[in-house]
């Protein structure tokens, strides 16, 4: 369980294929503490397991499911990534509950500068995700907890403040770029419950 409050930006240092998986090496600082082998870390919003720990680097394995559902297989050495360690009991919940289970890969449709902030419109990959987003609700984009600023047909908008633009990879978003999108978990349970009740 995560909060969508990015702790730092790491840097991809290696991405090597090993059979049907990819080994992803990420250079990090703050995130290294407590991230021993077997620990979970959210990388651009996807919950991954540490399989190797080095002096200034953590290594993950990306299986076929992760590669199919996220943007992680498109990373290149030198790319920045958003990193967050799991929420600890008693810790502050500054964002919202984020599972690290990406619902789909969205596509940036428009990036508009509004004074010191930036408005971003992201297209959804499939219509089933539309009911999971509500105005002023929560959504995670590449692991960053954001508020839904607007909804369109098969799209949603978010506003990025200067801090978010500088402290996360979202300041580098460009039209056409793919992003990991995770809808609010409470909405997912609600939609599922209503669907089951309607089927009986």
pLDDT tens for residues 55-71? Answer: 999 999 999 999 999 99
**For the chain, which residues make up each domain, given as ranges?**
8-84, 104-199
The answer regarding whether domain 104-199 maps to CATH 3.60.20.10 reads: no
- 8-84 CATH: 2.40.30.20
Whether the pLDDT of residue 91 is over 70: the answer is no
pLDDT for 146 beyond 90: yes
Is the model more confident about 19 or about 137?
Answer: 137
Q: What percent of the chain has pLDDT over 90?
A: 80
Same fold, 8-84 and 104-199: yes
Three state DSSP letters for the chain: CECCCCCEEEEEEEEEEECCEEEEEEECCHHHCCCCCCCEEEECCEEEEEEEECCCEEEEEECHHHHHHCCHHHCCCCCEEEEECCCCCCCCCCCCCECCCCCEEEEEEEEEEECCEEEEEEECCCHHHHHHCCCCCEEEECCEEEEEEEEECCEEEEEECHHHHHHCHHHHCCCCCEEEEEECHHHHHHHHHHHHHHHC
pLDDT of residue 199 exceeding 60: no
* Res. 10: pLDDT tops 50: yes
Return the pLDDT at 79. 98
Place 200 in a pLDDT band, splitting at 50, 70 and 90: very low
Cβ(46)–Cβ(140) below 8 Å: no
Question: Could you tell me the pTM of the whole model?
Answer: 0.92
pLDDT greater than 60 at residue 170: yes
- With CA atoms as reference, report the closest residue to 39 among 17, 58, 20, 24: 58
> Band of the pLDDT at 88, cuts 50, 70, 90?
confident
Q: What are residue 83's DSSP bridge partners? A: 8, 43
- Average pLDDT over the chain reads 92
Backbone angle region of 142, left / alpha / beta, with phi > 0 → left and psi within -120 to 50 → alpha = left
Higher pLDDT, 96 or 42: 42
- pLDDT-derived band at 104 (thresholds 50, 70, 90) equals very high
């Amino acid at each position: 369980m995560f909060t969508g409050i990015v702790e730092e930006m790491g840097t991809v240092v290696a991405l090597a294929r090993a059979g049907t998986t990819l080994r992803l090496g990420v250079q990090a600082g703050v995130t290294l503490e407590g991230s021993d082998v077997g620990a979970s870390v959210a990388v651009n919003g996807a919950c991954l397991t540490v399989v190797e720990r080095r002096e200034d680097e953590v290594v993950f394995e990306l299986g076929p499911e992760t590669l199919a559902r996220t943007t992680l297989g498109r990373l290149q050495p030198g790319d920045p990534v958003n990193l967050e360690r799991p929420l600890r009991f008693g810790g502050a919940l500054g964002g919202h509950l984020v599972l690290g289970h990406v619902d789909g890969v969205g596509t940036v449709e428009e990036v508009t500068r509004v004074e010191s902030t930036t408005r971003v419109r992201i297209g959804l990959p499939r219509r089933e995700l539309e009911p999971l987003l509500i105005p002023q609700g929560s959504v995670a984009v590449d692991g960053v907890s954001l508020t839904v600023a607007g909804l369109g047909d098969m799209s949603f908008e978010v506003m990025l403040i200067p801090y978010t633009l500088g402290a996360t990879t979202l300041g580098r978003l460009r039209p056409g770029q793919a992003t990991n999108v995770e809808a609010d978990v409470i909405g997912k349970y609600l939609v599922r419950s209503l669907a089951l009740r309607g089927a009986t």
